[in-house]
Structure 1
């Protein structure tokens, strides 16, 4: 092999090492890289959060089924925008025809997305919208505002006329998903930011330990709460732990969003009154299908594709469509 060939290989290895991202290649593996398989890239927020693991595994299964090659990368932590930027650049270098991304920062990733699209790469957002939405070719996701609204509507009904005294456990400050779910919950409850019925708001990054500490701090200020909004199910578990330690868990309505098997079990066990299930497996599978279609025919998906949400509870409320926990455990994360 000549010096030029060795230089090209070395440059490629350096570009990969510089990405600082985790990597997982999937596909049939026994075919050469240039054997005609369509390369589909996936960039998730992390490779450890069970939600994104389920999304990634679904994308892998669908890519295998359709004979495509999936290259899965991730940020080091939720909010690692630089890691996601490096991952997109890496995937472009590897020849991905489509890149699917769950953006940690809906605006910070825009430059990398534009560069990829300028080079003819189809870019699909999964789970989380970019700002603006048309920065990507298409989005496959839940309507997070609607998910929050459904949580709020159910929690209000579950209070059964009791005055709402709410604490709100948000996600990461500035997160699009966190803001959408927060606003949707308030709409469902019939409240607005600053309403006296809201006893406190804390950012938890969707983490159980931070949510428990936040709830403990809020309870020190006012223990008369009747309801808790939680961004996701780990936050709900943290809230429940704090309320249980205080001896008032049975007096407070906790609502949540996600739809993991553990979250559904928490509903079944009475720790959470209801959770709003999302379907990340569906998002991933539909994204891969669109990617393969683009690779074959050049046809692009467009706009927002709503993959749906469903209230899971064993205490149905009139006027709110829901499924019980038996259904939820059979369909967790879709």
Structure 2
């Protein structure tokens, strides 16, 4: 259903919009912007303070926690204020729309968003841009990509290919018997990683090598439950694709409970410090590191540059991927967990 947007009279928005979670407010002078006035507040010396909104998919996923903390640090470094909001769960488009509406009402200068639904959020983005607010996508591009002014994100097809190529190489001459634990149905990131993995692994979506698949919404508990359910159907499995590290951890827990963890090669994507430690401990064989701190730094810098100098960013910027494993395979460049712990998510 399309959302109809109206510009209401000047009022302070409620502490948290329905369906969205207010996480933090950093260096922000609430209510300082006058009705119909500037997007930026001013301090006593007349220096304008840029106010930036951040909308993540969830408030608890470690990736988005790291992104939020990095954005807070970057905002402080750039002399800007930050309002951070999120959906209640991965796929909560309504919560993200409500968050966008709240930020528009607060007259922020720019909004950084990790879209849960790459098309469902377009109306809110269009309204923000109509009101002169710079909108930048982080982690996940909108569809179409140019709905946001710019995107700073992982090349998720590449990340999936790296995971798939590694897991297939570890299997060697063994015939693959694969479980696939996907993210959120309809999610662009989930589809790109899924497709990339299959490409790197060297099979198609209808391959008999895929012994089972499940939707996990990127959640650890759902990942564990999904793996338990799949193992009830068959324990004849030797490889597992996971959308992210929380799901990989849940999958490992289920495999270990059945005494199967040593016979199954699990790959993942994220590269958080906890995930790198899990690779070191042997919970899963490899992970593909992303760099959310770079995403946040680039996004905050772009908004402040736009607000102060009028320069508007554009296009897609790949913020990088790195395969992390302590068991390298020929033909795939990788870094070990020592390197990973020094650079996790940086």
Shorter-chain TM-score: what band? over 0.9
> 1:53 and 1:78 mapped to 2: Cα distance?
13
Superposed counterparts of 1:259-274, under 5 Å: 259-274=271-286
For residue 27 of structure 1, report the CA deviation from its aligned partner. Answer: 2.6
Q: Can you list the C-alpha shifts for 1:127-181, whole angstroms capped at 9, x where unaligned?
A: 0111111110100000011100000000011112211110000011111111110
* 1:298 counterpart = 2:323: no
Deviating above 6 A after TM superposition, structure 1's stretches of 4 or more consecutive aligned residues are: none
Q: Which has the higher helix share?
A: 1
Change (3 A) 1:302 1:159: same
* 1:333 counterpart = 2:341: no
Query: Is the 2:179–2:212 Cα contact (8 Å) retained in structure 1?
Result: yes
- Structure 1, unaligned runs of 5 or more: 1-6
Secondary structure of the structure 1 residue equivalent to 2:12: helix
The corresponding residue for 2:134 is: 122
Superposed counterparts of 1:65-80, under 5 Å: 65-80=77-92
Q: Give the TM-score normalised by the residue count of structure 1.
A: 0.93
> 2:124 and 2:246 mapped to 1: Cα distance?
31
For residue 21 of structure 1, report the CA deviation from its aligned partner. Answer: 3.1
Secondary structure of the structure 2 residue equivalent to 1:104: coil
Aligned positions, number: 326
Q: CA RMSD in A?
A: 1.9
Query: Is the 1:21–1:86 Cα contact (8 Å) retained in structure 2?
Result: no
> 2:220 and 2:186 mapped to 1: Cα distance?
19
Q: Can you list the C-alpha shifts for 1:40-74, whole angstroms capped at 9, x where unaligned?
A: 11111122222111101111111111111112111
> 1:113 and 1:19 mapped to 2: Cα distance?
17
> 2:137 and 2:264 mapped to 1: Cα distance?
36
Secondary structure of the structure 2 residue equivalent to 1:21: strand
- Structure 2, unaligned runs of 5 or more: 1-7, 33-40
> 2:55 and 2:239 mapped to 1: Cα distance?
35
Query: Is the 2:152–2:295 Cα contact (8 Å) retained in structure 1?
Result: yes
The corresponding residue for 2:106 is: 94
The corresponding residue for 1:156 is: 168
For residue 93 of structure 1, report the CA deviation from its aligned partner. Answer: 1.8
The corresponding residue for 1:25 is: 25
**More moved, 201-210 vs 178-187:** 201-210
Superposed counterparts of 1:44-59, under 5 Å: 44-59=56-71
Secondary structure of the structure 1 residue equivalent to 2:185: coil
